[in-house]
């Protein structure tokens, strides 16, 4: 099943045209498929391989290195709380616990409604703003436990939330689309553009745990949580 619609594929071709070699477009195209499904699925990687003339294994080898390319379903808003030394000294663990309680999920998890994911981040390089946090890679400095709850409530209610730089926090798929299409002459309203190009609902994930290849007749079903 193809992840990219015909219109999306024409966007992909515009991206490819920016590079001297087709395969150089692997990363933006991976963001493009992430903008459709919220994370990079096997079908998404197959689409990228198909467009670039690579094997899916090569796309996996490239994509699996980058943490911003998500290998499992990811919430609309990813909350990353720094857990390194400066932030921890200044109470990052309390911020983290507040978020965890508010959302009812463990680090690495996603809320059942698919709106929030939570992760403990390594140094975000903003020690002066400790305890530091990012939501969809927008910075928040000197965050208190009550603030993080407030921010989550605002986002859940669909209100605008602004980062320290005054940027509005936008949904993950929009950011992925913007990353993929940077430098292309596409209409500004990225969310609308993306919605229009994606066309319809995202297909369900077909990710197998640990990318386990299944050989019919030989294989037992993969063990839960096995693999890498």
Partner 1 sequence: MTQQQTEMVTVTINGQQVQAENGRLLIDVAEEMGIFVPRFCYHPGMKSVAVCRMCLVKVEGMPKLVPSCSTPVADGMVVETDTPEPAGAQEDMLEFLLINHPLDCPICDRGGECPLQDQTYAHGPGSSRFVEPKRTYEKALDISQLVVLDRERCVLCWRCVRFSDEVAGDRFIQLVDRGSGTQILTFSDEPFDSYFSGNTIQICPVGALTASTYRFVSRPWDLKAAPSVCSYCSVGCPTTNESRGDKLVRVQALPNENVNDFWICDKGRFGFHYVDAKDRLSTPLVRDGDDFRSATWGEAVAAAAEKLGGGKVGVIAGGHLTTEDAFAIQRLARKTIKTPHLDARIQDDGAAYERTLAYSGVVGSTATINDLDGARSIVWVGPDPKEVLPVLYLRLRKAVLDGGAKLIVVSPRRLSLDAFATHVIRCEPGGEANALSALTTTAPVKDDLAAPLVACWSPANPGRETGADLDSLLKVAVEKDARWLVCAPHAGSQGMLDMGVHPALESGYRPIDEPGMDTRAMLEAAAAGELDALIVVGADPISDFPNRNLAQAAMEKVGFSLVIELFPTETARLADVVLPSTAAPEIEGTLTNLERRLQKLEPLTKSPGTAREPWRAMADLARAMDDDWKWTSFADVWAAITKEVPTHQDLDVAALAQEVPPSALQYESGTEEQPGPRGPVVAGPGGQYPKGHRSGAPFKTASWPLSWELRQFEAKQRPGHIPDAPEAPEEKVGAGADAAAPMSGEGFVVYAGRQIYDEGAMVSRSSVLHALSKGAFVELNDEDAKELDVTDGDEVTLTAGNNEMTATVVIADISKGAVFVPYDQKGLRANELLGAGGRVKVAKA
Binding footprint of partner 1 on the chain (CB under 8 A):
42, 45, 54-61, 64-65, 207-208, 210-215, 218-219, 222-223, 226-228
Shortest distance (Å) from residue 121 CB to partner 1: 16
- Which DSSP string corresponds to 75-118? -SEEEEEE-SHHHHHTTHHHHHHHHHHHHT--TT-B-TTSSEEE
SS3 of residue 9 by DSSP: helix
Of 158 and 217, which has the nearer Cβ to partner 1? 217
Of 104 and 227, which has the nearer Cβ to partner 1? 227
Report the distance separating Cα 114 and Cα 102, nearest Å: 15
Shortest distance (Å) from residue 13 CB to partner 1: 20
* Largest interatomic CA distance in the chain: 57
Shortest distance (Å) from residue 197 CB to partner 1: 25
Shortest distance (Å) from residue 209 CB to partner 1: 9
Give Cα 180 to chain centroid, integer Å.
12
Listed in sequence order, the residues at least 6 apart from 96 whose beta carbon sits closer than 8 Å to its beta carbon are 81, 83, 107, 120
Of 55 and 146, which has the nearer Cβ to partner 1? 55
Shortest distance (Å) from residue 22 CB to partner 1: 14
Give Cα 116 to chain centroid, integer Å.
11
Of 91 and 222, which has the nearer Cβ to partner 1? 222
Of 91 and 203, which has the nearer Cβ to partner 1? 203
Neighbouring C-alpha atoms within 13 Å toward the C-beta of 164: 13
């Amino acid at each position: 099943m193809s992840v990219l619609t015909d219109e999306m594929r024409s966007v992909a071709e515009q991206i490819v045209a920016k590079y001297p070699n087709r395969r150089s477009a692997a990363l933006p195209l991976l963001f493009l498929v992430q903008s459709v499904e919220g994370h990079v699925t096997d079908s998404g990687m197959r689409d990228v391989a198909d467009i670039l003339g690579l094997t899916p294994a090569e796309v996996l080898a490239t994509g699996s290195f980058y943490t911003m390319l998500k290998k499992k379903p990811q919430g609309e808003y990813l909350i990353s709380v720094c857990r390194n030394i400066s932030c921890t000294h200044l109470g990052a663990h309390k911020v983290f616990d507040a978020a965890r309680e508010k959302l009812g999920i463990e680090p690495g998890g996603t809320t059942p409604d698919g709106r929030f994911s939570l992760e403990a981040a390594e140094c975000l390089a903003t020690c002066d703003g400790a305890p530091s946090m990012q939501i969809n890679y927008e910075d928040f400095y000197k965050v208190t436990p009550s603030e993080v709850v407030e921010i989550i409530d605002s986002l859940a209610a669909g209100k605008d939330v602004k980062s320290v730089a005054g940027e509005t926090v936008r949904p993950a798929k929009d950011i992925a689309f913007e990353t993929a299409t940077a430098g292309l002459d596409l209409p500004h309203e990225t969310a609308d553009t993306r919605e229009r190009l994606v066309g319809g609902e995202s297909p369900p994930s077909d990710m197998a745990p640990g990318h386990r290849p299944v050989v019919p007749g030989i294989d037992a079903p993969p063990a839960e949580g096995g693999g890498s």
